Amino acid sequence: MVLVYQEPLRVKYYAKWHSFPALFRVGNLLSVIAVALVTTYVTGSMWVKTRVSYEQPDVVFDSKLMMVLEGGETGEDVWFWSTLPNLNRAFESSFVSTDLSVTQEDYNFDGKVDTVRIKLRSSVGAAIRGVKILAQFDYKLRERVHMNMKTLAYVAHSGGVPGSALHADGSLSLRQREPLPDDSTRREYLEDLLRDSEPDGMLQASTELGVSSILEDYFFRNETTVLSENYASWEAGSAEHSGFVADVLVRVPPNQALVYKPSTIEILKFGWIQFLASFVVFFWLLSYWEWYVFHYRVLDTRMRTDMKSKLKSF
């Protein structure tokens, strides 16, 4: 004989609403819910406070740049150049002629810039021992947070010997002090960080134009960018005849991490998934416990089966 089909025989147990078996069943179900909630909460990650979203930002160089060249044995000789005409006139005594070329590349043709190459050739005509560069960018995010702001990329390097060129390579990475609300709009930082003020005789490099003071104010912001994973190569040589060359490659991360505060519905959805994962396990264990209690008649119930007294005829 071969088994070709089978049907389970159901056994049903009945009791009154106010009876102990009914209270036993309800109490078990409430206990499982409570245990699942406690387990989910104690083990952590029931309520998600922050989430991380990945997005390639839209980064464009906005033609504002400052460069400070340092020479002499202790860096006391300083030369200045920027793309801001008024600032150049304000620092005419230390101004040095410089050629700037910027190349922006979109390698995967997705409409977003992948790299920005900034190349400066300065006819300083002196021994250079250090260089500082501040470049301003337009930075935009559009997915979890609608962000539009002005940011900086800062490159600084000094060598033990005079140099003729600096080659730097880094990624323009986002830094946050606090997470941002989901689906929020951020337009707080649209003011230029490198401002072209009128040369009224009151500007001093140690205050408004000092690199350290600009960076100090900049890093008080909640959202900033830094040139992370920055690799610099200093070429030793004399810049007195051929000039000094600074070649900076700024890479835009294809998957920039953004920390945000999820919405209420997202928090509840994630909490429900965590609770359900614990509830299924404890409910499965409860089913065996109830089977033992009712199958072996530990509690007094009325039993009824699906077995019929007569066979069904065809």
Are 42 and 122 part of one and the same domain? Answer: no
Distance, in Å, from the CA atom of 110 to the CA atom of 13, rounded to the nearest integer, reads: 65
Q: Mean of the pLDDT values across residues 100-116?
A: 95
Distance, in Å, from the CA atom of 146 to the CA atom of 139, rounded to the nearest integer, reads: 11
Distance, in Å, from the CA atom of 214 to the CA atom of 205, rounded to the nearest integer, reads: 11
Could you tell me if residue 117 is inside a domain? yes
74 pLDDT band, cuts 50/70/90, is low
Are 68 and 177 part of one and the same domain? Answer: yes
Does the structure show a pLDDT above 70 at 127? yes
Are 235 and 297 part of one and the same domain? Answer: no
SS3 content of the chain, % helix, strand, coil (to 5): 25, 40, 35
Give residue 74's region: left, alpha or beta (phi > 0; psi -120 to 50).
Answer: alpha
Helix extents (H) in the chain = 20-42, 85-90, 211-218, 264-295
| Domain span holding position 253 | 52-261
Task: Tell me which of 204 and 54 has the higher pLDDT.
Answer: 54
Does the structure show a pLDDT above 50 at 204? no
Distance, in Å, from the CA atom of 275 to the CA atom of 33, rounded to the nearest integer, reads: 9
Lowest-confidence segment of 91-100, 108-117, 218-227, 296-305 by average pLDDT: 296-305
Q: Mean of the pLDDT values across residues 164-182?
A: 95
Q: Mean of the pLDDT values across residues 182-208?
A: 72
Count of structural domains, the chain: 2
Task: Tell me which of 159 and 111 has the higher pLDDT.
Answer: 111
Could you tell me if residue 222 is inside a domain? yes
Are 185 and 213 part of one and the same domain? Answer: yes
Two tokens, residue 24: 């036993």
Are 159 and 277 part of one and the same domain? Answer: no
314 pLDDT band, cuts 50/70/90, is very low
Residue 46 one-letter amino acid: M
Are 101 and 212 part of one and the same domain? Answer: yes
DSSP string across 243-301: -EEEEEEEEPPTTEEEEEEPPHHHHHHHHHHHHHHHHHHHHHHHHHHHHHHHHTTSS--
Two tokens, residue 219: 């890093």
Could you tell me if residue 142 is inside a domain? yes
Distance, in Å, from the CA atom of 78 to the CA atom of 209, rounded to the nearest integer, reads: 13
Are 198 and 298 part of one and the same domain? Answer: no
Are 241 and 273 part of one and the same domain? Answer: no
Are 106 and 120 part of one and the same domain? Answer: yes
Could you tell me if residue 4 is inside a domain? no
Residue 293 one-letter amino acid: V
Are 65 and 42 part of one and the same domain? Answer: no
Distance, in Å, from the CA atom of 172 to the CA atom of 68, rounded to the nearest integer, reads: 21
- pLDDT digit string, tens, across residues 21-61: 889 989 999 999 999 999 999 988 788 889 999 999 999 99
Two tokens, residue 280: 């299924």
pTM value is 0.79
pLDDT of the residue at 313: 44
Distance, in Å, from the CA atom of 57 to the CA atom of 174, rounded to the nearest integer, reads: 9
Give residue 23's region: left, alpha or beta (phi > 0; psi -120 to 50).
Answer: alpha
Distance, in Å, from the CA atom of 27 to the CA atom of 286, rounded to the nearest integer, reads: 11
205 pLDDT band, cuts 50/70/90, is very low
Are 163 and 290 part of one and the same domain? Answer: no
Residue of 196, 218, 198 whose CA lies nearest to 139: 218
pLDDT of the residue at 202: 40
pLDDT of the residue at 165: 92
2 pLDDT band, cuts 50/70/90, is confident
Could you tell me if residue 274 is inside a domain? yes
Residue of 133, 124, 123, 310 whose CA lies nearest to 230: 133
pLDDT of the residue at 207: 40
Distance, in Å, from the CA atom of 205 to the CA atom of 213, rounded to the nearest integer, reads: 10
Could you tell me if residue 34 is inside a domain? yes
Are 213 and 297 part of one and the same domain? Answer: no
Could you tell me if residue 64 is inside a domain? yes
Could you tell me if residue 311 is inside a domain? no
Residue of 303, 282, 301, 295 whose CA lies nearest to 28: 282
